[in-house]
Structure 1
Amino acid sequence: MTSDDSTANPAGQDRVLANGNYRHFISSRVCSQLGFQSLAVALGWMLYDQTQNAYMLGWLGLAQFAPMAVLTLVAGPVVDRFDRRRIGLACQGIEALAVAAVAVGVWLGVLTPVLMLLAAGVMGACQAFERPTMASLLPNIVPVSMLQRAIATSTSFMQTAFIVGPSLGGLMYGLGERVPFIVAALLFAVAAYNVISIRLAVRAVARTPISLGSVFAGISFIRSRPAILGTISLDLFAVLLGGATALLPIFASDILRAGPLGMGLLRAAPAVGALLMSFVLARRPITQGAGRKMFMAVAVFGLATVVFALSRNIALSIAALAVTGAADNVSVVVRSSLVQLMTPDEMRGRVNAVNSLFIGTSNQLGEFESGMLAGAIGPVATAVLGGIGTIGVVILWMRLFPQLRRVERLDGSEQG
């Protein structure tokens, strides 16, 4: 639980950043996210440019999600048993090599849609281990009294990467097809250097063999905590239905006529809103009504998605996506705080693995769903239905998870 002094004092953010390990942690996450976002924009634009097929954008999302779905539950016990820094190093190193291979393929003119999907699959496999690893590292770096502020501060840096990454990818793509992939490979290499530079005391870990029970322990733990189950499942279905990320190449190219740079701006817009909201939450953490505020934020997310779908003006579209990012950020902070504060360290790898699976499902599988549905009924109808569906999920979840509605403070308690 965040102490009252930490919550009330904006200087607490400076104290978090004064931690050398935390700076390495942030640098690693930001560089990795910059590389991933630049790659996503360039790969999505190149794939759609080659195929002019909305279904292929859906397959791109599925290619990232499938290995995550298969490997995430296995990743949890691995993260809890071994040095988390070395796992992060391995993941980011492989990502650097994979993206460098894509750059070579572009240079040689042999990068086909199938090879693009294969590269996306490799990235998904690495993310299955990297995401729970990095999430589990954070509580080992900062004291519990500073955790909520550290999460909000980390989120602000990550959202900056979400802003810069897509724009960087679009700009680099304009300079040459292979440029964004070269830059992304370098960013992953820098991320790997930073994660292995973190200095921590050796953790005492159980060396029991990985069993079926240990693999599914994270699921059992989450099922026993209705507040955690409610918040991560709400985020899953809201983004699964309401996320329009996979459709941005279509909106940018065919509806808004904005080009690659316009797509980068659209992709960055949610992060702009999220960044602004993260600044607010870093200075004014949620101290009461956390559950109710989360439900309200997700409903706003759905409504803004409908506005984006119906917009034919690039400025309005960017503004609507910025609102979705601000609303989603409230969900991110609530979910992350509850997961970290309610989970013992020896379980964090497995619990964060399940959380990552939910996030991956909402993002990558959501992109597959959006791409498939857009191919059948069109992108506008798909986005409108998704936004309306998100609002419907909020109403349903308020009835299914009254414990989440009663959460007041982000300290793991379920009753206000």
Structure 2
Amino acid sequence: MANTRPVPLTTTSGELRPHDPYAALRSRNFCVLLSGAFVAAFAQQMTTVAIGWELFERTNSDLVLGGIGLAQIIPIIVLFLPSGYIVDLYSRKMIFLVSLTLLGLATLGLATLSALHGSLWLIYACLAVMGAAQSFSSPASAVLVSQVVPEHLFENATAWRTSSGHLASVLGPASGGFLIALFNGATFVYILGAAALIIISLLMITLRVRSQERPQKSAQPRSLKTVVEGLQFLGRTQVLLAAMTLDLFAVLFGGATTLLPVFARDILHVGSIGLGWLQAADSIGAVGMALFLAHRPPFRHAGRTLLLAIIGFGLATIVFGFSHWFWLSFLMLFVLGGLDNINMLIRGTLTLVRTPDQMRGRVSAATSLFIGTSNQLGGFESGLAAQLLGPVLAVVLGGVGTIVVVGAVALAWPELRRMRTIRESSNNTQTTT
């Protein structure tokens, strides 16, 4: 079992210990978990590029492409309540391992269908299986962090975890596109992704975790009340609810990335190569910020930092909307990614620190669903606004809306405004009765 004894933050003389940016990475079990999460994200990003390219080549239909996201998001919406409860009730390590294996097998199914030019509906079925597996793997991997590192390293571990996720979002699509061109098709991409997922699932067997606290057994342990406790907890926990609200509306209104093809072609006039750089800019900024945050001490004014980061996100969105210079637009997207990473780090660490262990799976599943669906809705909102108002006004108004939401959240939840360190005691006015 991993060492659970907390490491003191001060020396025997009372002096603060120097910050160790690699503290979480010194845990062998955290590195194993981080490898699994990175490979899963990398393989899924490669697969997303491959399936989109292949289906458009086969059908030349925008509607078929839209079905890719739909086939994956429907299982996540349907399963988010039971998946969170199952993650709390059973071994999170085994759930993550099985989910990775299922993802690998579904990807192998895509490889088979690609080689045999199989039915479109069977391809959608494989994507639905991947969505179902993701509804379990996402909350399981997020809360497993709390079982492999002590609480004082949650912030550092979350910084490295978000960094690896953003790195996968940069390298995955690029690798997928390169391999499609190299092997003249998507089949090898699926095979490579499936092999990576199955191998990393075997590596998860070696992961050693602390025991988890499970939900108390009641007369009806699987009642709806037990399953929705995560949502009820979020509703009562003011700081978490405020942080999630900020994230939801920042994503919903700040949908500049959805309209990048329009800006690249019609406003910045940079073509497909420029579009590629623009699409990578926010992920590059996020990786850079994650590495910076991992090397700095924990936040001393976390609430104020979060509010300022979302305000900066809105301002960068406004500048991007007005920009007609490629490098200014690239810089604003870089800034957007970096500021969004601050938001992800604080919200992710808050979720771990402020949530009881026996409820972390349900809270994490709810958070994953809301953030995931807000990405989809944000893209739709940006497209609709651009159709009605034009792309520039749509993006600018989205940035203004984001800043307005920050003001509203700061007024509605003063607990967030006053929050200092993320690890403040849960007794510090974080819940309402």
Identify the TM-score tier after normalising by the shorter chain.
0.7 to 0.9
Q: How is 1:132-281 mapped onto 2 (pairs within 5 angstroms)?
A: 132-175=139-182, 176-178=184-186, 179-203=188-212, 205=214, 206=216, 209-248=221-260, 258-259=271-272, 264-281=276-293
Query: What is the CA-CA distance between 1:401 and the residue it aligns to?
Result: 1.7
Residue 51 (structure 2) pairs with residue 39 (structure 1):
no
1:97-108 matched pairs, under 5 angstroms: 97-108=105-116
Aligned-residue offset at 1:325: 0.9
Conserved in 1, the CA contact under 8 Å of 2:212 and 2:358? no
Following superposition of structure 1 onto structure 2, how do residues 361-400 of structure 1 map, counting pairs within 5 Å?
361-371=373-383, 382-400=394-412
Instruction: Answer yes or no: is the 8 Å Cα contact 2:304–2:418 preserved in 1.
Output: yes
Partner AA of 2:49 in structure 1: V
Q: Which segment drifts farther, 152-161 or 84-93?
A: 152-161
Cα offset for 1:58?
5.7
Percent identical pairs in the alignment equals: 38
Match of 2:95 in 1: 87
Gaps of 5+ in 2: 1-5
SS at match of 1:14: coil
Offset, 1:275: 1.5
Deviation at 1:194, TM superposition (A): 3.0
Give the deviation of 1:389 after TM superposition. 2.5
Deviation at 1:364, TM superposition (A): 3.2
> Mapping of 1:15-94 within 5 angstroms?
15-44=23-52, 51=60, 53=62, 60-94=68-102
Q: 1:254–1:174: structure 2 CA closer, same or farther, 3 Å change rule?
A: farther
* Partner-residue secondary structure (3-state), 1:184: helix
Verify the 8 A CA contact 1:242 1:302 in the aligned structure 2. yes
Q: Give the whole-Å Cα distance in 2 for the aligned partners of 1:31 and 1:22.
A: 14
CA displacement 1:214-240 (0-9 Å, x = unmatched): 111011111111000000121012112
Deviation at 1:202, TM superposition (A): 4.6
Instruction: Structure 1: give runs of 5+ residues left out of the alignment.
Output: none
Structure 2 CA distance for partners of 1:257 and 1:351, relative to 1, 3 Å: same
Q: 1:341 to 1:334 in 2, by over 3 A?
A: same
The 3-state SS of whatever aligns with 1:200 is coil
The letter of the residue matching 2:207 is I
| SS of corresponding position for 1:408 | coil
**Residue in structure 1 matched with residue 3 of structure 2 by the alignment:** none
User: For 1:319-375, what per-residue CA distance to the aligned partner results, in whole angstroms no more than 9, with x for missing partners?
Assistant: 322211100011111111111111121111111111112221222333344455556
**Structure with the greater relative contact order (CA < 8 A, sep ≥ 6): 1 or 2?**
1
Q: Does 1:343 align with 2:355?
A: yes
* Per-residue deviation, residues 175-197 of structure 1 (Å, max 9, x unmatched): 33304333332332233223332
Give me the TM-score of the superposition, normalised by structure 2: 0.83
Secondary structure at the aligned position of 1:227 is classed as helix
Shift of 1:278: 1.4
Aligned partner letter, 1:187: A
Deviations 1:114-150 (A, max 9, x none): 6665554433322211111111111110111222212
The corresponding residue for 1:293 is 305
Check conservation: 2:213, 2:357, Cα contact below 8 A: no
More helix by share: 1
Amino acid at match of 1:404: L
The 1:281–1:33 alpha-carbon spacing in structure 2 relative to 1, beyond 3 Å, is same
TM-score, normalised to structure 1, is 0.86
Q: How far apart in 1 are the matches of 2:190 and 2:262?
A: 22
Bigger Rg over Cα:
2
Cα distance, 1:305 vs. partner?
A: 2.9
The 1-side partners of 2:242 and 2:135 are apart by: 22
Distance in 1 of aligned mates of 2:54 and 2:408: 39
C-alpha contact 1:58 1:367 (8 A) present in aligned 2: no
